[in-house]
Amino acid sequence: MESLFYKENRKEFIDHMEPGEAALFYCGESIRRSCDEHYDFFANRNFLYLCGINQKESMLLLEKEGETYRETLYVLEPDFMVERWEGSRITGSRAEAISGVSNIKFVKEFDEDIKRVFTKSGVNTVYLDIDRVPKQLLKSCADRMEEYLNQTYPYVNIKNALPIMRKMRTIKKPCEIEAMEVAQRITKAGILAMMKSSRPGMYEYQYKAEFDYALAQENGVVAPFSIISAGKNNFCIHYDSFTGQAMDGDMILNDVGARWDYEVTDVSRGWPCNGRFSHKQRLLYECAYRTSEYMFQNLKPGIPMKEVDAMIRKYNFEQLKEAGVCKSYDEIGTYMWHGGAHHVGLDVHDLVDAEGAVTAPGMVFCIDVGIYHEEWGIGFRLEDNCLITGNGCRNLSKDVPRTVEEIENVMN
């Protein structure tokens, strides 16, 4: 992404602010795993959306004064010994080039600036990016700042930035779509590698190795997530063990994607490990395929998002009924275990304002048709990424083999 993307995003957020208001966004911290080990750092996606900086402990402060505003980006100061162990820290000039923020300071200066903001600048309201879930154990930086402000500056009104950020991230900008298309191309290479190497007796971790190797050839791209399973493991929706072995006749389920310029793709394909669909496998797969095709032929602007999932379930039921699998719509939950649409972007299940929304140009979400027939031992999903256009939609992942014939041609 170019700095203009981040500048425009910050300006859009600031336009929601009133004079005398400020906003604080945090990139996040590395989380200790055990002893002196930490989990891989994962930057807060709202922070990334506003400035593109992917370095722990960075912070963004926005202040609105009348019709003008001030932007300050805080990054870690240089530390020779720490950088020897952890790698180079971003420089001020590099942070400015990426984000477009000209006022770059070190994190150690943040405390004094906060005192100025809440005692001298007349700020009476601050936005914090508060995103809590039930039974959350760890407090985020925003959570801790909320507690600090309540104790130290109780007169300051705290607003949640999350609703604004959700709304902003719902419609993807052209540069985001371009990044997703690159991610789709890389994802295709990974799925093709798995299809071509597939054989009875292959372990799930070997499939994952094929996928990861294909992605790594594209400028070192690493998969942000992978669900790859065989046989009975296909009946665990978010399976992540990679320890099972594909036996002759088993279906391989994969729900995978690549990340490019922080934008992700989410694609699922299912295939028989031996390269030939059995009669029952073909029967169920073609139900999912026809349902997917129906959705891509009919999705367009103006459809309530809550109806998209219902459309998938109803049409897939008709296919399963015609195939002799279902008799009544009441039975559809036996074979469809999860929703059929979720937004994609900086997050795999993207943070958007979908409540009460209707489809609109620039939305990107999955069409995810999952069928799980435990009695037959067949479980898979066919998932593609749908971009709503001005008068219809486009399947961003259409080039990944989708039909029975396409898959068998690749594998044989």
Nearest to 379 by CA among 228, 279, 191, 230: 230
Mean model confidence pLDDT for the chain: 96
Give tens-digit pLDDT for 33-51. 999 899 999 999 999 999 9
CATH topology classification for 3-169 = Creatine Amidinohydrolase; Chain A, domain 1 (3.40.350)
What the block records as the tokens of 216 is 């790594």
Nearest to 4 by CA among 69, 94, 101, 70: 101
CB 406 within 8 A of CB 397: no
Tell me the average pLDDT across 382-393.
98
pLDDT of residue 219: 87
- The crossing angle, in degrees rounded to 10, of helices 174-197 and 404-411 is 60
What the block records as the tokens of 215 is 């992605």
Which residue has tokens 């694609």? Answer: 267
Which residue has tokens 């296919």? Answer: 319
Whole-prediction pTM? 0.95
CB 381 within 8 A of CB 255: yes
What the block records as the tokens of 265 is 């793709």
Please enumerate in sequence order all residues whose Cβ is within 8 A of that of 133, keeping only pairs 6 or more positions apart, or say none. none
Q: How far apart are CA 95 and CA 83, in angstroms?
A: 17
What the block records as the tokens of 137 is 């154990």
Q: How far apart are CA 352 and CA 10, in angstroms?
A: 17
Q: How far apart are CA 251 and CA 376, in angstroms?
A: 11
Q: Is the pLDDT of residue 120 over 80?
A: no
Lowest mean pLDDT among 130-139, 193-202, 239-248: 130-139
**Which residue ranges make up each domain of the chain?**
3-169, 171-411
Tell me the CA end-to-end span of the chain in Å, nearest whole number.
40
CB 149 within 8 A of CB 156: yes
Q: How far apart are CA 351 and CA 21, in angstroms?
A: 24
pLDDT of residue 119: 87
pLDDT of residue 373: 98
Tell me the average pLDDT across 52-61.
98
CATH number of this structure's domain 171-411 = 3.90.230.10
What the block records as the tokens of 29 is 């911290």
Half-sphere exposure of 103 (CA within 13 A, CB side): 12
pLDDT of residue 220: 81
CB 256 within 8 A of CB 226: yes
